[in-house]
Homo-oligomer: A and B are copies of this chain.
Amino acid sequence: MIRTESVSVSPETLKEKIKELVESEKTKQGKFFNLFINALIFLSIISISIETLPNLNAGYKSALNLFEIFSVIIFSIEYITRISVADNKKQYIFSFYGMIDLIAIIPFYLSLGIDIRSLRIFRLLRLARILKATRYWKAIRRLKYAFISIKAELVIFIAITFGVLYIAAIGIYYFENPSQPEEFKSVFHSLWWAIATLTTVGYGDVYPITMGGRLFTFIILMIGIGLISVPTGLISSALTKSLKKENNI
């Protein structure tokens, strides 16, 4: 409880101070450190997209490159610091956040010729720390519990969805292939139609033109609407239940 503020900083105190800086958000410095790291994550995620802009002049490109090197150096220092100040180093390394912190920097060191820059997108997951430290924590836990309580139902839903998609693809193939051999080349090509239709996206690049195919689409869509309403119903009932539990206890 008693903290000694001596002029000559002993290594233990230094480590403790760094630990406080990195892990806690209660001190002013900790808050600033967190804000800085999160801003850097945010900017480095945006820079992935800016890099893809066509007709980007050489000046901007090298600036983005420099920024990437800079941010990876910072992230690497942060990662090593987090390991060294952790009470249980192994536990941190293999924790969710420890893994994410590593994944955020490793693509840079591995990218020797191969283009795996897009993997930097995983830095997005680092932003999960923001949510963790906020008043949204309670809501996240509520959503998490709701999802856990319907895990089995969701697995069944996904299994049935796969089944329906496959049946839809085979069915439409047999109806439409004779009249549209290019659009419905094989069952695998028809799967694309099944996905775009059952999710009601309906791009309009492939659609049935035969009477049989349209009737089949109608039946599949009636099932599909029923299917899509199941996860909504599940989540809704799970949330209703979890809200009630919270109120009672």
Q: A residues near B, CB below 8 A? A: 45, 48-49, 52-54, 118, 121, 124, 127, 131, 135-136, 138-140, 142-143, 146, 152-153, 155-156, 158-159, 161, 163, 166-167, 169-171, 173-174, 177, 181, 185-188, 192, 195-197, 199-205, 207, 214, 217-218, 221-222, 224-226, 228-241, 243-244, 247
Q: Name the CB-closest residue of B to A224.
A: B199
Q: How far is the CB of A144 from chain B (nearest CB, A)?
A: 11
Task: Select which of B136, B153, B225, B236 is within 8 A of A142 by beta carbon.
Answer: B153
Whether A237 contacts B229 by the Cβ 8 Å rule is: no
**Residues on B with beta carbons closer than 8 Å to the beta carbon of A153:** 139, 142-143
Residue on B nearest A143 in the bound complex, by CB: B153
Copies of the polypeptide in the assembly: 4
Known: A53-B188, A202-B203, A207-B203. A229 touches B226 (CB 8 A): no
In the bound assembly, the distance between CA atoms of A146 and B156 in angstroms comes to: 14
- B195 and A217 contacting across the interface, CB-CB below 8 Å: yes
In the complex, what distance in Å separates the CA atom of A124 from the CA atom of B138?
Answer: 36
CB distance from A150 to the nearest CB of B (A): 8
Which of chain B's residues have a CB closer than 8 A to the CB of A52?
A: 173, 177, 186-188
A136 touches B156 (CB 8 A): yes
Contacts of A142 in B (CB 8 A): 153
A114 to chain B: closest CB distance in Å?
13
A159-B131, A204-B203, A231-B225 in contact; A170/B48 too (CB < 8 A)?
yes
Additional A-B contact list (10), CB under 8 Å, known A201-B202, A225-B231: A52-B187, A52-B188, A53-B188, A136-B156, A139-B152, A143-B153, A199-B225, A202-B204, A203-B207, A234-B236
| Contact flag A240-B236 (CB < 8 Å), given A153-B143, A201-B202 | yes
Do residues A48 and B187 form an inter-chain contact, with CB atoms below 8 A? yes
